[in-house]
Chains A and B, each alone.
Chain A
Amino acid sequence: MNHEEPFSGLLTEPSTVVTAGVELFERTLAAQGVDHHRVDWRPPDDGTAAAIARISADPRTVAANEEAVSRLTSAEPRWTDVVTASEAVGIERGQFLHAGPPLTWERASGPMRGALIGAMLYEGMAGTPEEAADIAARGGIELSPCHEHGAVGPMAGVVAPSMPMFRVENAAFGNTAYCSLNEGLGKVLRYGAFGPEVIERLQWMRDVLGPAMRAAVRALDGMDLRALITQALQMGDELHNRNRAASALFVREVVPPLLEAELDPRQLAEVVRFINGNEHFFLNLVMPAAKAAADPARDLPGSTMVVAVARNGTDFGIQVSGTGDRWFTAPAEVPDGLFLGGYTVEDANPDIGDSTITETAGLGGFAMAAAPAIVRFIGGEVGQALAATRSMYQITLAEHPVYQVPILEFRGTPVGIDVTKVVRTGLVPVVNTGIAGREAGTGQVGAGLVTPPMAVFSAAVRALADDAGA
C-alpha cells in the first residue's frame, strides 16, 4: 500500500477496477477502455449472508485464522514408533474406533458393519460373523471416532485394541497422532471385508509386520515424513489416492534397517514383499502426519479453518477450529469414479473414511495438479487436475510453504480450508477417495471423486456467527 499518497494513489492515475455484481458497470468500463476484472460472484449458500457478515466483522477472525494456518503448515511430522492400539489410544476389549463423526451400530453402513464384524472376529469376541453382528446389535461393543482419540483410519477406519499402529510425532508442537497399518487392496477390513483371509492377514500384521516396522523405525531413529511427502509430490503423487512414489521412497528407507534387524529371513521376505507390493502403504503414514499437523490448530476462538474432514459411511462431517469438538454433519454422498470389475455405482457405499485429513492438510485433491496421472482414475483430462488445485486456492487461507506443485511453478499447495470461503464461493473441497461396496463383506469396488455436502459448511458458518455474537 502506498502511504505517501491518499487512497493508495487512486487519484493520481487510472486504476484497474474490480467489479462485483451488475454486469452493466463492466460494460461502461469497457466502453471507456478501462482495465477491469469481474468477480465471478454468486450469493453464498442459502441463508448464510448475515452469518458471513457477522464473522467478517468479528475482530478475532483474521488473526485467529493466521495463527491456525501457521500452526497447520509449520508442523514437522515424524514417524517414531509402532505401538498397539491399546497403548496408543487406550482402548480395551469390546471398544473399537471408527472413521468419521460419531456413529451407532444401528446407523452404520454395510462396510462399517463388515469392518466391525471383522474386528470382533480378529479380537476373538465372536466365532462367526452372525454372532458378531448379534453382539453388536445387542450393544455389546463400544464405538468412538478415531478423531476423538488423536487417531485417523482410512475407509471404515476400524481400530481394535490389539492392532499395531504407526505413531507420528509433530516435532514442532510435541503432539502425536496414530493410524493403523495399511492392509493392501482388494478384500480388506477397511473396505468392510471380514473373510478368513482378512483376519489371517490382520493377525500376520500384528505378529510379523508390526514388530518389523517397529524395529526399522527405531533403528532409523524416526523418519521425516514432511521431507518424504515433499519429494513424493514432486514425483507425481497427491498422497491420497496416489501414493506410488511415496510408498517406493518408503521402501527405500526401511529396507536397510530391516535387513539389519536380524528377522527370520522368510518373515523378512514376506514383509518386504508385502510393503513393496502395496502402493498405498504410505497412505497410513500420510494420514497421521496430516492429523498431527491439524490438531495444534484446534480450538482457536474465532478461527473459521477446518481441522478435520471425515466420513463414516453414513454421515459426512467436519470440525472447525473455532467451534471446538463439535461435528457438523450431513448425509454422505456416493462417490463417482471408475469401478473395479463388474461393479457399478449401484454397488457403491456412501463416502467413508478419515483419509480426507489429507485434503485438510493441503494434500490429496488439493494437490491434484502434482499428480496428473490420477485423472485416469477419475476418467478426466490432465487439465482437470490443474483446475482442481487452482480452484482450491479460492477456499483456503494459505499456500503451503513446503508442499509444492512443480507444474504450477512450485507454488505451495492450497492449505487451510476456510468455511466462509467455501460458502461464499460455492466451491466445496475436491476430495479423491476409494469407493467401498455397499454390502458388508464386499471390499473395495472402485475409486474416484466425491462432492462434500455444502450443508456442513453452512452449518459451521452459522455456528461461528452465533459465537461471534452481535
Chain B
Amino acid sequence: MTVRHLDVRRGSYHDSVTLMQVSRTVGDVDGVEAALVAMATELNLDFLPALGFDAGAVEAGPNDLLIAVRAGSDDALAQALQALEAALTSSRRPSADTWGGEPPPRTTGDAVTATGARLALVSTPGEHAFVESLDALRAGANVMIFSDNVPLEAERRLKDEAAARGLLVMGPDCGTAIVAGVGLGFANVVRNGPVGIVAASGTGAQQLTCLLDDAGIGISHVLGVGGRDLSAAVGGASTVAALRALDADPATELIVVLSKPPAPEVATRIEALAGELATPVVLGLLRPDGDDLTAVAGRVIEAAGGTAEPPAAWPVPDRAPRAGHLRGLFAGGTLASEALALAVRELGPVASNLHLEGATPLDGTSAARHVIVDLGEDEFTRGRPHPMIDPSLRLERLADETARDDTAVLLLDVVLGHGAHPDPAGDLVPAIEAAVARGIHVVVSLCGSAGDPQDRDRQASSLAGAGASVHLSNAEAAREAIRLTRGARP
C-alpha cells in the first residue's frame, strides 16, 4: 500500500545544501519510496510528477518549504516525518529572546555592522551573491564568495568596489581559503608557515597546501581569487591586491600564484608585479603541457629551502595493465583537469565534460572509450549535493562503471578537510571492493593533510585495504592509472 504526504510550510527558508541532506535523511528511512524536501521553486515543483504527486495541487513559492514523501506504509511515513522534524530542527537554532536580544540580522551588511567582522563568507545562490557581497564591502568587510553563477559584470563591480575601499574579494566560485589560520569553505588543516598562496583554483590550492604540509612547509595564507580573476575581463584585480597584501604581510616569506594560464596581457601584468615585490614569487601556471601541481609543489618546497621528495603513496604490488578503458570519476575540478591533460597525452582521445584539446565531449554514455568526468560541475550538482559533501552521486556512477565489461581502471579523487564528508573511505570501500572483485584496477588520488579531521592515514589504509592504490599526488595517481590501462602509449 502506497501512502503519500504533501505539505507546504509558508515562509520557512532553509538553504539547498541543508535540504538536500534532509531529503536524503528522509529518503533513507526504511519503507520510504521517494522524498523531496525543498524550497518550492519552479524547478523543485517540476520534480513532483516524477515522484507521483500532482504538482497542480500545490500553491507555493520559493520562500515556502515543500515536503513530499511517498512511502510503502503508514508506519514508514510516520517514521519519515519524524526523521524530517529531527533533521530540520537540528539545522536551526532557537530564535532570539524578544526581551533582551536583537533579532538576528537578515542582510550581510547588517550582520557585518553589528559584529564588526572583517570577513563575510557568501554562499547564497549565485543570483543573490552580488547584493550580499556589495553589502559586506560597503559595511567594511572583505568577502569570500563561494557562490557560483555570478555574472561577470557583477564580479567586476565588486572588485572595483573592493579596490576603492582597500578590501579583498575572494571569488566568485571560490571554494577554499585560509586566512590568518582560519580555514574557509573547503580547506585542509595545514601547519602555519612562510608560504602565502594566491589561488584561482580551489582543489588546486588544496592539493598544493597538502603536499607542502607533508613536506614540512607551512602556509601563511591561501587567498582565493576566483577562476575568472586572471581573465582579460577581470584583469587580475584580486590577484594584484592579494599579491600586494602578501608582500606587506610579515608572516609571508614566499608567494605562490596558482592558476590556469592567464590571459596574455594579465600574465604580463602579474609577472611585472611579481618582479617588483620584495617577497620572492613562484608562478604556478598550470599549462596542460607544463608543470602539474606536484611539480609546482616541488618547486615551492625547493624555493622554501626544503627538499622535494616523491609524495607518499600506498601502492598495490604486482598489478599488470588490463585491457579496456580508463574511467576517472572526480569531485575536484582542478584535479580532474590535471588527470585529463595527462590521459589525453598518453591514451589519445578521452571523453570529458571538461574542455581541453584532445578531449571529446561527454554525451552521457561511457561506451567503448576512456572517460574522465568532473562530477562537481553544474550539470551534475543542480539539485544534488556536491560529491565532496555527499558521495551518493559518485557511488551510483561507480556502480555503473563497475558493471561495464570494458572498464579496466577506475581513477577516483578523495578530498578531505573542513567541510568535506566525514568519512569518504567508509562509503567508497564497498564500491572499491566490488570493482576489484571484477578485476578492475582502482587508483585513488587522496587530497588531504595529516591534520585533517577525517584522519588521512586511516582513510588511506581503508582505501588500500579495499584493494585500491592510493597517492597523495594527483598527478602520480593519474600516471599510475594510465599505466595500468593496456593500450597506453609506451
CA distance A40 to B166 in the complex (A): 27
> What's the nearest-Cβ distance from chain A to residue B140, in Å?
5
Could you say which of B97, B110, B119 has the most chain A C-beta atoms within 10 Å of its C-beta? B119
Q: Is A106 interfacial (CB 8 A cutoff)?
A: no
When A16-B116, A23-B91, A49-B127 are in contact, do A10 and B63 touch as well, CB less than 8 Å?
Answer: no
Do B125 and A43 touch across chains, with their CB atoms under 8 A apart?
yes
Q: A11-B180, A14-B181, A383-B98 are in contact. Are A19 and B130 (CB under 8 A)?
A: no
CB <8 Å contact, A425 and B106: yes
- Evaluate whether A37 and B106 lie within 8 angstroms (CB atoms) in the complex, with A12-B180, A32-B182, A383-B98 already known: no
B167 interface contact, C-beta 8 A: yes
Produce 1/0 per residue, B131-149, CB < 8 A to A. 1101110101110001100
Q: Which of A11, A24, A43 has the most CB of B within 10 A?
A: A11
Which residues of chain B from 132 to 190 have a CB within 8 Å of any chain A CB?
Answer: 132, 134-136, 138, 140-142, 146-147, 154, 157, 165-168, 179-185, 187
Residue of A nearest to B249 (CB): A11
B269 within 8 Å of A (CB atoms):
no
Chain A, Cβ-Cβ closest to B168:
A7
Q: With A16-B118, A17-B117, A22-B15 known to touch, is A39 a contact of B107 (CB < 8 Å)?
A: yes
| CB contact between A62 and one of B91, B138, B167, B221 (< 8 Å): that residue | B138
Interface residues of B in 99-118 (CB under 8 A from A): 99, 102-108, 110-112, 114-118
Contacts of B146 on A, CB cut-off 8 Å? 21-22, 25
Contact check, B180 vs A56: say whether CB atoms are below 8 A apart. no
Cα-based distance from A387 to B95 in the complex (angstroms) = 12
- Chain B residues, CB < 8 A from A11: 179-180, 220-221, 245-246, 249, 251
Q: For the complex, what is the distance from the CA of A62 to the CA of B62, rounded to whole Å?
A: 29
Are A1 and B106 in contact, with the CB atoms below 8 A?
Answer: no
Question: Which chain B residues border A384 with CB–CB below 8 Å?
Answer: 98
Asked if A387 meets B98 with Cβ closer than 8 Å, knowing A1-B166, A12-B180, A424-B106, the reply is: yes
Nearest-CB residue, chain B, relative to A9: B118
A25 / chain B contacts, CB cutoff of 8 Å: 121, 123, 146, 184-185, 419
A32 CB contact (under 8 Å) in B135, B141, B249, B418: B418
Q: Does A394 have its Cβ within 8 Å of any Cβ on chain B?
A: yes
A13, CB-defined interface residue at 8 Å: yes
Is the CB–CB distance between A391 and B157 below 8 Å? no
Cβ of B373 under 8 Å from chain A: no
Residue of A1, A19, A31 with most chain B CB atoms under a 10 A cut-off = A19
- CB-based contact B182/A31 at 8 Å: no
1/0 per position for B47-70, CB-CB distance to A under 8 A? 000000000000001110000000
Interface size on A, residues (CB 8 A): 59
Q: A23-B15, A56-B130 are in contact. Are A37 and B117 (CB under 8 A)?
A: yes
Asked whether any CB of chain A lies closer than 8 Å to the CB of B17, the reply is yes
**Assembled-state Cα–Cα distance A423/B204 (Å):** 39
Cβ of B166 and Cβ of A6 under 8 Å apart? yes
The answer to whether residues A46 and B141 also contact, given A10-B119, A23-B17 and a CB cut-off of 8 A, is no
Contacts of B128 in A (CB 8 A): 43-44, 49
The answer, among A17, A19, A44, A45, for a CB contact under 8 Å with B182, is A17
In the assembled complex, B124 has its CB within 8 A of some CB on chain A = yes
Contacts of B127 in A (CB 8 A): 49-50, 53
Interface of A is mostly: mixed
Q: A13–B249 Cα gap in the complex (Å)?
A: 11
* Cα–Cα distance between A44 and B99 once the two chains are bound (Å): 27
A1-B120 CB under 8 A given contacts A31-B418, A56-B134: no
A7 with B183: in contact, given A28-B418, A46-B63 (CB under 8 Å)? no
Across the interface, name the chain B residue whose C-beta is closest to A383. B98
Across-interface contacts of B167 in A (CB, < 8 A): 7-8
State whether A29 touches B221 (Cβ < 8 A): no
Q: A21-B15, A57-B134, A383-B98 are in contact. Are A8 and B118 (CB under 8 A)?
A: yes
Residues of B within 8 A of A38 (CB): 104, 111
Interface residues in A423-440 (C-beta closer than 8 Å to B): 424-427
A6 touches B15 (CB 8 A): no
Residue numbers in B under 8 Å from A371 (CB-CB): none
> A138 on the interface (CB 8 Å rule)?
no
Q: How far apart are the CA atoms of A12 and B418 in the complex, in Å? A: 22
Chain A residues closer than 8 Å to B79, beta-carbon distance = none
Is residue A421 within 8 Å, beta carbon to beta carbon, of the partner chain?
yes
B487 at the interface (CB under 8 A from A): no
* Known contacts A3-B166, A25-B121, A31-B453; is-contact A421 B107 (Cβ 8 Å): yes
Interface string of A427-457 (1 = CB under 8 A from B): 1000000000000000000000000000000
CB distance from A218 to the nearest CB of B (A): 47
Query: Using a CB-CB cutoff of 8 Å, which residues 367-396 of chain A contact chain B?
Result: 381-384, 386-387, 390-391, 394
B408 to chain A, nearest CB (A): 36
Rounded to whole angstroms, the CA-CA distance of A427 and B63 in the bound complex is: 13
Nearest-neighbor residue (CB-CB) of B185 within chain A: A25
* Residues of B with C-beta under 8 A to A8: 118, 140-142, 166-167
B13 at the interface (CB under 8 A from A): yes
B248 is contacted by which of A6, A31, A41, A391 (Cβ under 8 Å)? Answer: A6
Question: Does chain A have a CB within 8 A of B389?
Answer: yes
Shortest distance from the beta carbon of B172 to any chain A beta carbon, whole Å = 12
Closest residue to B118 on the A side, CB-wise? Answer: A15
A394 to B109, CA, bound (A): 10
Q: A37 contacts B98, CB within 8 Å?
A: no
A42 at the interface (CB under 8 A from B): yes
**Cβ–Cβ contact A34 & B115, under 8 A:** no
Distance in angstroms from B149 CB to nearest chain A CB is: 12
Taking a contact as CB atoms closer than 8 A, the residue among B91, B110, B154 that contacts A53 in the complex is B154
Check if A43 sits within 8 Å of B63, measured CB to CB: yes
A347 to B249, CA, bound (A): 70
Q: Which of B116, B131, B181 has the most CB of A within 10 A?
A: B131
B244 within 8 A of A: yes
Q: Determine if B141 and A390 form an interchain contact, defined as CB atoms under 8 angstroms apart.
A: no
Contact A7 B419 (CB under 8 A): no
Q: Which residues of A contact B110 (CB under 8 A)?
A: 39, 394
Q: Determine whether A245 belongs to the interface, using a CB cutoff of 8 Å to chain B.
A: no
Q: How far is the CA of A44 from the CA of B135 in the complex (A)?
A: 15
A227 at the interface (CB under 8 A from B): no
The answer for the CA separation of A57 and B134 in the assembled complex, in Å, is 8
* Nearest-Cβ distance from residue B64 to partner chain A, whole angstroms: 10
Shortest A368–chain B CB gap in Å is: 12
| B102 cross-chain contacts in A, Cβ below 8 A | 390
Cβ contact within 8 Å between A21 and B115: no
Contact A16–B115 (Cβ < 8 Å): yes
Is the CB of B290 closer than 8 A to any CB of chain A? no
Residues of A close to B142: CB separation below 8 A: 7-8, 10
> How far apart are B197's CB and chain A's nearest CB, in angstroms?
13
CB distance from A41 to the nearest CB of B (A): 6
Decide if B120 touches A426 in the complex (CB within 8 Å): no
Is there contact, CB below 8 Å, between B106 and A383?
no
B18 an interface residue at 8 Å Cβ cutoff? yes
Expressed in whole angstroms, the minimum distance between the Cβ of A400 and any Cβ of chain B is 18
Could you pull out 9 A-B pairs where Cβ atoms are within 8 angstroms? A10-B118, A14-B179, A18-B108, A24-B17, A39-B111, A42-B63, A56-B135, A390-B103, A394-B106
For the complex of A and B, list the 10 residue pairs with the smallest distance between their C-beta atoms, beginning with the closest.
A21-B123, A6-B245, A383-B98, A28-B418, A42-B13, A15-B118, A425-B106, A387-B98, A40-B104, A22-B123
B residues contacting A by CB (< 8 A) are 11, 13, 15, 17-18, 39, 61-63, 91, 97-99, 102-108, 110-112, 114-125, 127-128, 130-132, 134-136, 138, 140-142, 146-147, 154, 157, 165-168, 179-185, 187, 220-221, 241, 244-246, 248-249, 251, 389, 418-419, 453
- Give me 13 other A-B pairs in contact (C-beta within 8 A), A23-B91, A28-B185, A42-B13 excluded: A7-B118, A7-B167, A10-B142, A10-B168, A22-B17, A24-B18, A32-B418, A37-B114, A49-B127, A56-B130, A57-B130, A387-B98, A390-B102
